Amino acid sequence: MPLKPKPVTDLQRQLDAAQLKVCRLNAEGRWSRTGRRRSMESRPAYIRRLAIMADANVTPTMLEMNTVQALAHKFEIEPIPLEIRRTDDIESAFARLKTDQADALYVVINELLNANRLLIVRSAEAAKIPAIYGTHDWVRSGGLISYGSNFPALFARLAEMADSILRGTKAEDIPVEQPTRFELVINLKTSKAIGVTIPATLLARADDVIE
């Protein structure tokens, strides 16, 4: 996965000032801003209400939820926030998703939701609602679509950074990096199960198609 240096940010300056000897690799919150915008632009016309599921206990996931809500408004899509604080909230969230007649689901993944991956994936399939996730392991577990960073490649890059530090490079001299390429994975078995047709143009752009 090609990576490029990022300009020094205030956060990076603060880290350097504190002399924190850490490896820094920015996964861009699983989605780039460009990726979110493109997903909105290429959405099927029938999607007018978008449910957004996120862990309400964690600030970064709520920030991502707010970002997606703001972007949805720009495209005249009604966002339906589904705040999850514990596993028991997931069932009621899907009940609300059905009551509010959501057309699609965006899942902001983190530790809590990842621990309930199968429950969420199976609930989305049972509700016959198209859902998009941030990593390919959700699609391999039965999810419809994922678009996000290739984390094994990121971890490999972290290993390279660690090796560089062990050879004498100072951590603060390693620039913050971010992925420049994201992977799209589609599960056709799931698309058939929920009655959704994936456009040929989207299939052609997929990095992996599960049949």
pLDDT, tens only, 155-165 = 777 777 777 87
Averaged pLDDT, 179-195: 87
Report helix, strand and coil shares of the chain as percent, to nearest 5.
45, 20, 35
- 52, pLDDT greater than 90: yes
Contacts 24+ apart (CB under 8 A), 90-96: 90/116, 90/119, 90/120, 90/123, 91/123, 93/53, 94/123, 94/124, 94/127
Residue 43 confidence class, pLDDT cut points 50, 70, 90: low
Q: What architecture is the 30-147+182-210 domain classified under in CATH?
A: 3-Layer(aba) Sandwich (3.40)
Q: Where are the domains of the chain?
A: 3-24+151-179, 30-147+182-210
Mean pLDDT of 162-178: 76
Determine the straight-line distance between the first and last CA of the chain, rounded to whole angstroms: 25
0.85 exceeded by pTM: no
Q: Rounded to whole angstroms, what are the CA distances from 204 to 15, 97, 198, 208?
A: 42, 30, 10, 10
pLDDT at 1: 44
Q: Which residue has the higher pLDDT, 34 or 132?
A: 132
Q: What is the pLDDT of residue 15?
A: 43
Residue 83's nearest CA partner among 65, 110, 104, 60 is 65
